[in-house]
Amino acid sequence: MKLAIKDLSKAFDDQVILKDTSYTFESGKIYGLLGRNGAGKTTLFNCIAKDMKWNSGEILLGEDDQSLGDYDPLNIGYVYATPHLPSFMTGLEFITYFMEVNHGRLRDPNISATSYLNQVGLDQAAQTRLLRDYSTGMKNKVQMLVSLIVSPPVLLLDEPLTSFDPVAAKQMKDFIISLKKDTIIIFSTHILQLAQEMCDEIVLLHQQQLHPVTASDIHTANFEAEVVEMLSSGENTDEN
Ligand SMILES: Nc1ncnc2c1ncn2[C@@H]1O[C@H](COP(=O)(O)OP(=O)(O)OP(=O)(O)O)[C@@H](O)[C@H]1O
């Protein structure tokens, strides 16, 4: 599976966020998207998820180079940094409803809503509480579950794991890693250690362009210094 970004440009009025940038993401790898605050990571995710229109260029999905083409946004699982959940439903009601609506797309129809919620550490008492009374970490767990239950070919994670306790973070990390064979996983993070730990490839979004960091550099002692240096380049012209 491949997700190809070709000559993509996106601006908000006269603020250019992406300028003719290209990158190809493949399944079997976890990609870490790093960039300064306001560089455009969430904007890029919004474009890939088709939540937002872009100005020019293409975003294509396919099994291989020959089959790359337009795609249904249902192929994109998107875990937002700020969860969007119906506050008037309990966790169990929401996951049950979600599984009913997405009946034909479930990764494993034999796993129940209760079992999924238990797997992410939401016990029976939490499951029957209204989502508006959940902590941020609990909401994020529910949001992550939604994408994992339907197994989309592309999974976008906007700053995942930051609200999870150490046990939940470890569970989620293992879960994400277990998906990578069949899924294109791109996650944005500011935590370099997490990127080093989980990613096969790092992509820097800097000065309106996507830049690869070679795999051999990710695990070197100089990685942090190199990333900081790259993201600091052109600082005087950067609006951050
Ligand atoms: N809907 C919008 N309308 C106008 N400007 C926007 C909109 N969404 C984002 N922006 C602007 O685009 C720029 C990129 O924002 P974005 O949220 O994509 O950055 P980011 O890299 O995800 O940042 P952070 O690391 O701080 O989360 C910012 O200057 C932001 O204010």
pLDDT tens per residue, range 35-74: 999 999 999 999 999 999 999 999 999 999 999 999 999 8
- Residue listed under structure tokens 């250690």: 193
ipTM over 0.95: yes
% of the chain beyond a pLDDT of 90: 57
Q: pLDDT-based confidence at 240, cuts 50/70/90?
A: very low
Any ligand 1 atom below 6 A from CB of 37:
yes
Go through 59-81 and write b for each residue having 16 or more CB atoms within 10 A of its CB, e for each that does not.
Answer: bbbbeeeeebeebeeebbbbbbb
- Pocket of ligand 1 contains residue 10 by CB under 6 Å: no
Residues 6+ apart with CB under 8 A from 204: 34, 35, 210, 211, 212, 213, 227, 230, 231
| Both tokens assigned to 109 | 């129809």
| Phi, psi of 69, rounded to the nearest 5 degrees | -165, -175
How far is 160 from 185, CA to CA, in rounded Å? 12
Q: How much is the pTM?
A: 0.90
What's the 232 CA to ligand 1 centre distance in angstroms?
18
Of all protein residues, the one whose alpha carbon is nearest to atom 13 of ligand 1 is 38
- Which residues have CB under 8 Å from 223's CB, separation 6+? 192, 196, 217
* H/E run at residue 213: strand 209-213
Report whether pLDDT(185) > 70. Answer: yes
Pocket test for ligand 1, best of 9, 17, 33, 205 (most atoms within 8 A of CB): 17
Per-residue pLDDT tens digits for 118-168: 988 899 999 999 999 998 888 988 988 888 888 899 999 988 787 788 887
Question: Is the Cβ–Cβ distance between 30 and 187 less than 8 Å?
Answer: yes
Mean per-residue pLDDT, 168-197: 86
Position 195 pLDDT exceeds 70: yes
**Mean pLDDT over the full length of the chain:** 90
Looking at residue 151, what is its pLDDT?
83
Element spanning 61, H or E? strand 56-62
* Residue 35 beta carbon below 6 angstroms from any ligand 1 atom: yes
Give the pLDDT confidence of 171-181 residue by residue, as tens digits: 888 878 888 88
Q: Tokens 């990710």 correspond to what residue? A: 218
* Residue 189 Cβ contacting ligand 1 at under 6 Å: no
| Alpha helices, H only, the chain | 41-48, 91-101, 113-119, 124-127, 136-150, 166-179, 192-198, 215-218, 223-232
Residue 193, SS3?
A: helix
User: Which tokens hold the place of 169?
Assistant: 């973070």
Closest residue (by CA) to atom 3 of ligand 1?
12
